Amino acid sequence: MAQNIKTLLERFARRDRLALARLITLVENRAAQVASVMEEIYAATGRAFIVGVTGAPGAGKSTLVNLLIAKYRAQNKIVAVLAIDPSSPFSGGAVLGDRVRMTDHYRDPGVYIRSLSTRGHHGGLSRAAREIVKLLDAFGHDVIIIETVGVGQTELSVMDLADTTVVVTVPEGGDGVQVMKAGLNEIADLFVVNKADRDGADRIKAELELSVHLRPGDGWRPPVLMTQAANDIGVDALVAAIGRHAEYMRTQRSPARERERRTREFIEVLTSELEERATRALGNGARGAERVLGAVREGSLNPYSAARRVIEDRAALSELIEAGGSEPAGE
């Protein structure tokens, strides 16, 4: 392992926030050292409680998250927020100033806030999010809040990381239907109807309760809570409900589920590592892997035949893995 990474990990172990920030940046940039960093910190993970907060834009998620931070801080918990943000194509930053509102907690050393842009990950976003959550967990955060903006597939996949998923809605035309169209009701452990003083709050509550009622099985039935985050109404009840779900989850844990979770994670890590190596091999001008990549580039072999060849001819697969073992710049 490179000396600078070793030093970073030592500082990370001493709870140096700058080292945490640097390691997160390595993950964001898909540096070749990420896998070894993860190996190093893995044993320290598994202690944080992870809350996902999602829902359509404009539902007041950021205000709600801001309050959740305050409630958990009042319980003396160390809190981290990972905000998954679509970002401006021009500035690279968030288009709207949602994050700004969280600056209530900016000076609190017990709160760590970080954004992760959805850009430029090409399907690797959930891996990056997973690894950042592991870093936040190993660093010693008690609660990690993952907030996503939007109702797409990204949100669904990132919410896989959460122990408890809160889906936030508002009493507005068709918001309940939106939630169902996006499949968010399937992943919800708790529903929140925020801005519950507005017209239609009871109707959306009834819609959501119906969708819960229609759910197959007899496990956890997601409650529907009414909040007015802007006035701190209903948020203590939300924190209590999150606690009840966490307790329920503890009773559901089983060795079989743990085994499944671990093997799924292994497959994800393995295949994205292979993908990154193949991409790096191309960045290196495909040196050392000309046999396969050359034929693909020139179009003499279609991508499917080439993939079959690599899978059947392990020497070709080895070439590709070796060629992508280091950074293009040779770092």
Write the DSSP string, 227-284. -BGGGTBSHHHHHHHHHHHHHHHHHH--HHHHHHHHHHHHHHHHHHHHHHHHHHHHHT
219 three-state secondary structure: coil
The Cα–Cα gap between 10 and 184 comes to 40
The Cα–Cα gap between 329 and 331 comes to 5
Does 26 contact a copy of itself by CB under 8 A?
no
- Segment contacting a copy of itself by CB under 8 A, of 59-67, 121-129, 202-210, 227-235: 121-129
Does 33 contact a copy of itself by CB under 8 A?
no
The residue type found at 33 is: Q
What residues numbered 191-250 form the site for a copy of itself, per CB under 8 A? 214-215
Q: CB-wise, 27 or 235, nearer to a copy of itself? A: 27
The Cα–Cα gap between 179 and 321 comes to 42
Q: Which of 272, 216, 260, 234 is nearest to 34 (CA)?
A: 272
Does 327 contact a copy of itself by CB under 8 A?
no
Instruction: State how beta strands 190-193 and 224-226 pair.
Output: parallel
Q: How far apart are the first and last CA of the chain?
A: 12
The Cα–Cα gap between 202 and 195 comes to 11
What residues numbered 84-113 form the site for a copy of itself, per CB under 8 A? 86-90, 95-96
The Cα–Cα gap between 32 and 324 comes to 9
Spatial contact of 117 and 86, defined as CB atoms under 8 Å apart: yes
State which of residues 73, 239, 273, 288 lies at the interface with a copy of itself (CB under 8 A).
273
Task: Give the C-alpha distances (Å, rounded to integers) separating 205 from 58, 151, 192, 274.
Answer: 18, 19, 9, 45
Nearest approach, Cβ of 264 to a copy of itself (angstroms)? Answer: 8
Site size for a copy of itself (CB under 8 A):
79
What residues numbered 123-162 form the site for a copy of itself, per CB under 8 A? 123, 125-126, 149-155, 157
- Segment contacting a copy of itself by CB under 8 A, of 18-26, 100-108, 120-128, 237-245: 120-128
Does 328 contact a copy of itself by CB under 8 A?
no
- Segment contacting a copy of itself by CB under 8 A, of 24-32, 162-170, 228-236, 259-267: 259-267
Q: CB-wise, 223 or 324, nearer to a copy of itself? A: 324
Q: Please name the residue that has the structure tokens 């944080």.
A: 48
Nearest approach, Cβ of 330 to a copy of itself (angstroms)? Answer: 20
Q: CB-wise, 109 or 216, nearer to a copy of itself? A: 216
Does 297 contact a copy of itself by CB under 8 A?
yes
- Segment contacting a copy of itself by CB under 8 A, of 3-11, 102-110, 181-189, 237-245: 181-189
Does 169 contact a copy of itself by CB under 8 A?
no
The Cα–Cα gap between 77 and 114 comes to 17
Does 321 contact a copy of itself by CB under 8 A?
yes
Nearest approach, Cβ of 182 to a copy of itself (angstroms)? Answer: 5
Q: CB-wise, 108 or 160, nearer to a copy of itself? A: 160
Does 43 contact a copy of itself by CB under 8 A?
yes
Q: CB-wise, 238 or 320, nearer to a copy of itself? A: 320
Spatial contact of 145 and 82, defined as CB atoms under 8 Å apart: yes
Residue 56-85 contact track with a copy of itself, rule CB under 8 A, x = bound = -xx---------------------------
